[in-house]
Amino acid sequence: MRPGALFLNLCRGFVIDHDALRRHLLSGHLAGAAVDVFRDEPRAAGEEFQSVLRGLPNVILTPHIGGSTEEAQADIGAFVGTKLADFVAEGTTSLSVNLPQVALPPATGTHRLAHIHRNVPGVMAEINSVLAAHDVNVEAQLLGTRGDLGYALTDIGIDYPEAVVGRLREMSPTVRLRVLS
């Protein structure tokens, strides 16, 4: 590295020689370093962290497990809680790992049908045929698929006959149907 360079290691602790890095920092060849991964990470809370880089004034050492701080855990909890609330209230599955990612903006004055189904051809045509047969107009609709599952959000702007819900639930590809208002 060029004289005066700053060294960063944010990937894996074993890719650098920490003793050599210390020598180059002490000699002034490197201006500084920031490291968040180490060959030997502390195994448990309270275990003293050992590194030949500790105590050097031109070095920043941080834990790679930054997601385990109290602040990060609080942020993660709030984030997950918001995603769950969005799913319950709006059917939104943004950043889901189990369902197709679908996010239809909420609309006022509509009912939302959240339809999880097996990902086979013709499901959307069948959903729309059921709605059309009962004179239910589609205001907005969005489909996402992932592997064997499909997930359709459909906003309808009128009160719907109960037969619509029954017929959609009876469709052979249907896994689950929720009606959100």
- Here the CATH number for the domain that contains residue 144 is 3.30.70.260
64 is catalytic: yes
The answer to whether residues 151 and 144 touch, using CB atoms and an 8 Å cutoff, is yes
Are 58 and 110 part of one and the same domain? no
Strands (E) in 11-97, as ranges, are 30-35, 59-61
Catalytic residue among 64, 126, 139, 146: 64
Its domain, for residue 151, covers 91-180
Q: Domain tally for the chain?
A: 2
Catalytic residue among 39, 41, 170, 176: 41
Highest mean pLDDT (candidates 50-59, 67-76, 163-172):
163-172
78 located within any domain: no
* DSSP SS3 for 159: coil
- Give the strand pairing for 30-35 and 138-146: unpaired
Domain boundary among 47, 64, 81: 64
The answer to whether residues 142 and 125 touch, using CB atoms and an 8 Å cutoff, is no
Are 96 and 169 part of one and the same domain? yes
Are 97 and 166 part of one and the same domain? yes
Give this prediction's pTM: 0.65
Per-residue model confidence (pLDDT) at position 73: 82
Catalytic residue among 12, 39, 54, 178: 12
pLDDT tens digit sequence for 103-119: 999 888 899 999 999 99
Rounded mean pLDDT, 71-95? 91
Least confident span in 33-37, 98-102, 175-179: 33-37
Q: Residue 16: pLDDT above 90?
A: no
41 is catalytic: yes
pLDDT tens digit sequence for 28-68: 999 999 988 777 766 666 777 788 999 999 999 887 666 66
Are 59 and 13 part of one and the same domain? yes
Per-residue model confidence (pLDDT) at position 42: 66
97 located within any domain: yes
Return the structure tokens found at 36: 């968040």
Q: How is the chain split among helix, strand and coil, in percent rounded to 5?
A: 30, 25, 45
* DSSP SS3 for 149: strand
81 located within any domain: no
Are 95 and 161 part of one and the same domain? yes
108 located within any domain: yes
